[in-house]
């Protein structure tokens, strides 16, 4: 789910010591990148990209705390809300928009808020990030409560729109998580759980869409995927809660039923049809030899967790 936010009120951005931020430093490894041949240029980019995974790995303890906090809020009926501006906002909206087709989540369970709204997904409207009050307003419009988890995303860790949002989220009792890419940022100090993958200066000074953006995408992948695994949206590494909305996905669903039950393709397709297209229901019906209603009741009592419905774990 993507939320549009626009507001005419502004607060002057904090530009003091901007040049000292990691994301604003000049990278010595790419200082002469414009003088290299194409392969040499790409190797420099790839070498710098290799640093990103290690930076994210160092943050796994914090990411794990964030995943557990998100799961706790969702189990209480809350939501996962991403909020950012520019590249960071686009990445949050992207991750939110991929959850319904991937994990069959309601469209309002994972929400992406970008400063400037849908237009900002395709066009540069970066000035709106200076509107701290708009960030707070966005949370008010979503009726955020203590059941929600709010993730602020800002490479510099000082984007007013994001800082305004997480400040309001804390006032409203939500658990707050911050993803930034520079040490000791304002965002890290303002949230309950700071996540700070610092992979060094960018390839091209003046933009954080490459290394910082990639690090943010990796963390967002972990947050949403980790939460969905903990919520029982998978069985092993199989996406048993996917939506079979086209021919490719229907074939994939049949394949998943085959893998879990051991039946042939024709039987798996028939089981899936009998289950109304629901992969989990088809698996429970086949494995336990029960009716569709009985299978759905077992899944409901197991809160959708297939292993528990099958009696494989307590």
Catalytic residue ranges: 98, 129
* 33 C-beta neighbours (distance < 10 Å), count: 15
* Residue 104 DSSP label: -
Write out the two tokens for 201: 């200066």
Element (H, E) at 103: helix 86-103
* 159 contacts 216 by C-beta, under 8 angstroms: no
* 5 C-beta neighbours (distance < 10 Å), count: 24
Contacts of 164 (CB under 8 A, 6+ apart): 11, 131, 132, 133, 134, 135, 136
Q: Which residues pair with 112 in a beta bridge?
A: 2, 82
Q: Give φ, ψ of 113 to 5 degrees.
A: -115, 125
Q: Which residues pair with 177 in a beta bridge?
A: 151, 193
C-alpha 125/C-alpha 119 separation (Å) is 8
Q: What is the secondary structure of 207-240 as a DSSP string? A: --TTHHHHHHHHHHHHHHHHHHHHTT--BTTB-T
């Amino acid at each position: 789910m993507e939320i549009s936010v626009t507001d005419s009120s502004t607060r002057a951005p904090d530009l003091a010591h901007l040049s000292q931020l990691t994301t604003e430093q000049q990278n010595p490894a790419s200082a002469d990148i414009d003088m290299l041949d194409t392969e040499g240029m790409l190797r420099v980019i790839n070498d710098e990209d290799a640093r990103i995974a290690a930076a994210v790995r160092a943050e796994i303890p914090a990411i794990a705390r964030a995943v557990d906090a998100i799961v706790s809020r969702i189990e209480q009926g809350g939501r996962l809300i991403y909020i950012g501006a520019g590249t960071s906002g686009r990445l949050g909206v992207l991750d939110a928009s991929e959850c319904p087709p991937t994990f069959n989540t309601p469209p309002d369970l994972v929400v992406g808020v970008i400063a400037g709204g849908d237009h900002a997904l395709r066009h540069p409207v970066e000035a709106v990030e200076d509107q701290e009050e708009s960030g707070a307003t966005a949370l008010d419009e979503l009726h955020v409560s203590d059941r929600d988890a709010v993730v602020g995303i800002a490479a510099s860790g000082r984007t007013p729109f994001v800082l305004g949002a997480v400040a309001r989220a804390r006032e409203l009792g939500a658990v707050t998580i911050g993803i930034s890419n520079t040490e000791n940022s304002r965002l890290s100090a303002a949230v309950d759980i700071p996540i700070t993958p610092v992979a060094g200066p960018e390839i091209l000074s003046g933009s954080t869409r490459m290394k910082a953006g990639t690090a943010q995408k990796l963390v967002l992948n972990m947050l949403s995927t980790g939460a969905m695994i903990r919520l029982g949206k998978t069985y092993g590494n199989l996406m048993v809660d996917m939506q079979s909305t086209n021919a490719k996905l229907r074939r994939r669903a049949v394949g998943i039923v085959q893998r879990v039950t051991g039946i042939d393709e024709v039987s798996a397709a028939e089981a899936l049809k009998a289950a109304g297209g629901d992969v989990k229901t088809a698996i429970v019906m086949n494995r336990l030899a029960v009716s569709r209603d009985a299978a759905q009741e077992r899944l409901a009592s197991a809160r959708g967790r297939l292993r528990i419905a099958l009696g494989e774990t307590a």
